Amino acid sequence: MGSEKKDSANVDIILATSIEKERNKLIQMLNERNLPFNVHCPEKLSELDKITSDYEIKLIITDMDFQNGSLVDWLVLWPYPFILLVDLEESEKIDKVLSDESSSFLLRRKNFSHLNYLPSMLRKVLNIRESLERHNNFLKISEKQYMNLVQALPDIIYVLDTEGNFTFINNAIRILGWDPVELIGRHFTELLFHDDVPKVSRGELLPALRGVVTGEDRSPKLFDERRTGSRMTRGLQLKLRRKPSIGGSINVSLTAYGEVSSIGYSGFQQNDMEGVGTAGIIRENNLQLDSPFSQNRAESIFATEGALAHNEVMHLINNKLQVLSSLVSLKQSLCNEPISCMALNEVQIQIYTLSLVYQNMVTINDKIKINMQSYMDDIIKHLISSYAGNPWMQKIELHCDTINLPEDSAITISLLVTELLTLILKIQDKVNSGIVPTTITFLVNDSIAQLKIRATEKIFSSYAEIIEDESSKIMIQTLVETLKGEIFLDKESFTLFFNIG
């Protein structure tokens, strides 16, 4: 393997040709013209891996015969532009190889005069590649900005594939108790009541209308709409089911249209229209909600006549929390400092933890309580999802009695548990104590609640030091004081005692 002119300011390229004289002449010419290239010349294919790992290769020059054509076979898979040196009799093979628009070819001449054109072609190919990368980066930024906007909206935004399965749904779906990831790949009828499916589904509604002229005013309204323009679905009134574990429904208005045709793509023939997916927007009809809880809970939580029912207040709060969470997500995407990004992520987790409390309400003796067993389980699941790449989070174990707490106490407990677990996660990474399961136990004895978080001795010895940090100390103390509780820290656990009355 040979390499020339290792100048860090130069562009690194690979020259892998089967004609040694041609290779030497090109290197000599680049050196004589003092062109800004570092040339790496592998003798065999196995040397390419080391070159591409040691240097930031920008371009490859090769021919059809290097290593019996094995490099040419790989070119379509490699993320590098290339210039192909070809003989006249090989011209028919060029189209099969040139799949990258930034790559090119150069016909050989017996006296090697074709090499005189190579420096200009090098610059051209590199400029095209740079332009494409700049354009792709612009598209990535634009897509990220678009996604941030979509996630910040309080309306449910969804995309269906040709089979009616969700390929995208934004965070606003959490108003129905779902996390977006839970619905990806599932059919849209998951959100509908059984009796409503035939009224809004293409597969069940359209066969009965085949051959019938409906006109725009009487055309069916569809959840999985494929039409666009004046025939798209607007103002479809529906009841959407909440997640079965929560129950109930919300009244919504839906707009849907054919996703591809709506962006101006006209390449579909009539028989290809089955390939058009669906994009839709779902907006909640404010204050027209079916309670997912008991009828007792639907009574006004205020003494004033005409005050909002509790479930109405719940949804109004959840909507605002959703918008706040999306704005925090937008801030996070624009943040370049790791510590600040981590802090914003923790804020977003706490916001979502607050929204979970309204999905775990029960009525006990005509009083609204929070089922802590299901609430704590939802919190842990959300933390595991938020830190999906961390093996320690996957090992958290929860043991919880059937405990029903007032709303304020439940929220305080949720904030405390989330704060402690994220703090322990940081300690876990710091002390590198291995993937040891952390156990959370929540039980009640004689109206005294006991919340115990158990980890390793090394974790809690480090915790005792970190808790001296003023911000962490104030946070923990404030939450404990809010509960009028007491904390106890031994070698292996953090234990909180408080009265549940």
Q: What is the C-alpha to C-alpha distance for residues 285 and 315, in angstroms, rounded to an integer?
A: 11
Q: Is 444 helix (H, G, I), strand (E, B) or coil?
A: strand
The string over 269-300, giving b where at least 16 C-beta atoms fall within 10 Å of a residue's C-beta and e elsewhere, is: eeeeeeebbbbbbbebeeeebebbbeeebeee
Backbone angles phi, psi at 155, to 5 degrees: -80, 150
Mean pLDDT split into 10-residue runs, the chain, 501 residues: 58 88 87 86 84 86 84 74 83 70 79 84 82 71 68 83 90 85 92 90 74 57 84 88 83 82 41 63 64 38 43 58 67 72 74 74 77 85 74 81 84 84 75 73 85 80 64 76 83 80 59
What Cα–Cα distance (Å) separates residue 163 from each residue in 168, 224, 233, 262? 14, 9, 18, 18
Residue closest to 322 by CA, chosen among 191, 182, 171? 171
What pLDDT, on the 0 to 100 scale, is given for residue 287?
A: 39
Domains annotated for the chain, with CATH where assigned, are 2-136 (3.40.50.2300), 153-209+216-290 (3.30.450.20), 295-499 (3.30.565.10)
DSSP for 2-37? EEE---TTSEEEEEE-S-HHHHHHHHHHHHHTT-SE
CA nearest to 15, candidates 118, 127, 130: 118
CA 345 vs CA 83, 180, 335, 342, 378: distances in Å: 46, 17, 11, 5, 18
Query: In terms of Cα–Cα distance, which of 53, 43, 46, 50 is closest to 20?
Result: 43
Q: What is the pTM of this model?
A: 0.41
- pLDDT for res 302: 37
DSSP letter at 142 equals: H
Alpha-carbon torsion 198, 200, 204, 206, what sign?
Answer: positive
Question: pLDDT at position 187, please?
Answer: 94
